Chains A and B, each alone.
Chain A
């Protein structure tokens, strides 16, 4: 019963490096989301997907890219990492519609850009 799995849990990047945050869910959810959480703040939406092959920008998409080739996977790509991308990243998935409206979250990835 894995739910939403994010890897890695921690990562330190140097400025200008690139990396991919992995997210996999085994609940056959059609909706998937990437959020970032800065210290002491709420979660801000980066990108979301309503199904395989369909993605859209959220509130803070600059510096990130996503793809959704399968229902299960929704990787987040950081290109040319910047200190402003230091944050905790959460992946989430869900259905939408009664009675299943709850979003399930991964454990988060703490990313530091130095």
Chain B
């Protein structure tokens, strides 16, 4: 059971817009910790897609955008392309009585129909 909750799967047709949610709590996203997003293509290492809630590293297309509100964050992908088919993970920091550290969402598999 991941500390951050993501939908197991989402899908969309080429050209469409999809969003992936990442739901946390008052000990992580709600506490003000930043959310980062990663894309993992099949058989490869994860790649940083969004950092600091809404910032794109150099080279990431502006079709990818991130937002954060309250105890949740979202990744939006517009103009869906076949090469976007991958697993997507959100990441933040969690600080609670039981300990603290980096936490990941369970991952969301994006299927391009």
Q: A and B bound?
A: no
Measured CB to CB, the residues of B under 8 A from A are: none
